[in-house]
Amino acid sequence: MQRLQDLKETFFGLEVVQQQLLISSAVAIGGILAYWVFRSKEAKTIPIGHGWWGKGKKPLSEDDQIHTFTITTSDEEIKDLHARLDLTRYTDPLEDSHFNFGFNSTYLKRVVSHWRNVYDWKKQVAALNQYPHFKTKIEGLDVHFIRVCPPSRENQKVVPLMLVHGWPGSFYEFYKIIPLLTQNHDGVAFEVICPSIPGYGYSEAPQKKGFDSVAAARIFLTLMERLGFSQFYLHGGDWGSAITTNMAQMKPDCVKGLHLTMFFPRRNFKMSLSLVIGRYLPFLVGFTREDVRRIYPYFQKNVWQMLEETGYMHIQATKPDTAGCAVNNSPVGLAAYILEKFSSWTDMKYRDLSDGGLERMFTLDDLLTNVMIYWTTSSMTSSMRFYKENFGNLINRLDFKTGVFVPTGLAAFPNELMHNPKVWAQTKYRNIYSYTFMPRGGHFPAFEEPQLLADDIVQFVKKVGKI
Ligand SMILES: *[C@@H]1O[C@H](CO)[C@@H](O)[C@H](O)[C@H]1NC(C)=O
């Protein structure tokens, strides 16, 4: 009898365990369900927020007029530059080091001799002024931009398009692509708006901490609104890609399409797994043959090369003001710092050429004009700070966790710093209309291959707009 009682208690005990199990399962399933519901309701936008970046306290009202702006120079400015160029001290490069230790200073002397004796800044300023420049105050900062309308024509649809540059570039990167975009493409032509990121070139630098890509995005949205555009397309690479992505996340209704040349996925476990499997069974993880060609050998192309090439990023993301002192005070130091990127980011193999291959893709005049935009505005340090502001808060950034739902066009150039297959891009860009393996070109496609880039933007916009 006693045994029976024991058994009963055991069974009863089991029942309790069963019940507890049931409850915990219900809680777990409920949790998973809630997670899925939460996931499917994942924010599709990021808050627009607000900011003010001028000196001191925010005034009660601010001038919101748009003012025309003309780039100017003077004999003193050029005399000062020449004096500094003449005072430069060079360190001879190591034998056969080419561009592997950084800018070859023997070749640098040739660049500087061109700068000092042939390059004509006054002529370049006139060329810069060929497009109409403007400035307008937003969030306490004078924001510079150019705005180029297409020649008027009957039966032509004019599509507004903003182009955003990155570091160490400028609005000047787009000078060769602008005429290609404002020209008529079977009834479509772009009206191009091309701003300078605050702290870069002719846009005023923030005076307060915290100015990141989200803040820049909000300012550029305000700019488009002020210009009277309620719907427009965006294009960007480098920081321009981060900024335009943020713009699409803030006001998806205004952004008809987003076209990027550099894009970052949201890293997840599936991605790491696909990296391991993809080399052997690419079809299983959605890689194309071209993806495989561009990704592998992964360690050499991505991990090792990243370590070799991103020292600048670490400095700028930690102590920009210290290194900024040097490059902002020596035009030759500034040129070496900027132009080294125009060598290796065009093609990593150029590191093995004694002249960095710089003149294969660009003219010295074009390269030096981009340097002069930083030099004459004294903006290198403030441009470098953008790294610290963006990398300072990597874990908590909402924009990193939020998808992008506007129609997106991705142009994957073969010499871009890192290749991201479409399946990876889809982890963040949820509405990819076009993904193009570009036949040639690197990190500065508008500067290197304006025609290829223009063609890709045109086909993307026609696809999205059904024109
Ligand atoms: C540096 O460039 C010059 C001119 O292009 C070249 O003659 C020289 O061999 C190069 N030096 C190194 C160390 O690569």
Place of tokens 């993904």: 435
90-132: per-residue pLDDT in tens? 999 999 999 999 999 999 999 999 999 999 999 999 999 999 9
CA of 98 to the centre of ligand 1 (A): 6
443 a catalytic residue:
yes
C-beta neighbour count of 392 within 10 angstroms: 14
When pLDDT is averaged across residues 382-403 and rounded to a whole number, the result is 92
pLDDT of 373 over the 60 cut = yes
More confident position, 34 or 370:
370
Instruction: Determine which one of 107, 175, 387, 435 is catalytic.
Output: 387
Ligand 1 centroid from CA 371, angstroms = 22
Cβ neighbours of 66 (radius 10 Å): 16
Report how far ligand 1's centroid is from the alpha carbon of 356 (Å). 9
Tokens representing residue 244 in the block: 């335009």
* pLDDT at residue 267, rounded to an integer: 82
Residue 442 near residue 435, CB atoms below 8 Å: no
Rg over alpha carbons for the chain, rounded to the nearest Å, is 26
Q: How far is the CA of 367 from the centre of ligand 1 (A)?
A: 19
Active-site annotation holder among 212, 238, 399, 456: 238
- Residue 23: band (very low, low, confident or very high) from pLDDT cuts 50, 70, 90: low
**Do residues 148 and 132 make contact, with C-beta atoms less than 8 angstroms apart?**
yes
Mean pLDDT lowest among 8-22, 226-240, 439-453: 8-22
Say whether pLDDT at 56 is over 80.
Answer: yes
Q: What does the pLDDT average to over 362-370?
A: 98
**Which atom of ligand 1 is found nearest the CA of 93?**
13
- Nearest atom of ligand 1 to the alpha carbon of 99: 14
pLDDT at 294: 95
Q: What 8-state DSSP symbol labels residue 131?
A: S
Query: What percentage of residues in the chain have a pLDDT greater than 70?
Result: 91
- Check pLDDT > 60 for residue 263: yes
Kindly indicate the confidence band of residue 392, based on its pLDDT and cuts at 50, 70 and 90.
Answer: confident
- Which of 127, 76, 75, 169 is CA-nearest to residue 380? 169
Ligand 1 surroundings by CB, under 6 angstroms: 93, 95-98, 104, 106-107, 354-355
Q: Is 235 part of the annotated catalytic residue set?
A: no
Q: What pLDDT was estimated at residue 330?
A: 98
Residue range 219-240: mean pLDDT, rounded: 98
Residue nearest to atom 6 of ligand 1 (CA): 354
Residues 6+ apart with CB under 8 A from 131: 146, 147, 148, 175, 178
**What's the token pair of residue 163?**
């182009």
Q: How far is the CA of 103 from the centre of ligand 1 (A)?
A: 10
Q: Is the pLDDT of residue 378 over 80?
A: yes
Alpha helices in 72-202 (DSSP H): 75-86, 105-117, 121-128, 178-182
DSSP state of 205: P
**Higher confidence at residue 9 or residue 458?**
458
Measured from the Cα of 105, ligand 1's closest atom is 1
Q: 130-143: per-residue pLDDT in tens?
A: 999 999 999 999 99
Q: Which atom of ligand 1 is nearest to the CA of 95?
A: 13
DSSP of 132-150: PEEEEEETTEEEEEEEEPP
Catalytic, 314? Answer no
pLDDT tens digits along 295-333: 999 888 888 888 999 999 999 999 999 999 999 999 999
Does this model's pTM top 0.85? My answer is yes
Close Cβ partners of 169 (under 8 Å, ≥ 6 residues apart)? 238, 370, 444, 447
Question: What phi-psi label fits residue 371: left (phi over 0), alpha (psi between -120 and 50 degrees) or beta?
Answer: alpha
Q: Is the pLDDT of residue 214 over 70?
A: yes
Catalytic residue among 133, 144, 259, 443: 443
Q: Which fold has domain 66-465?
A: Rossmann fold (3.40.50)
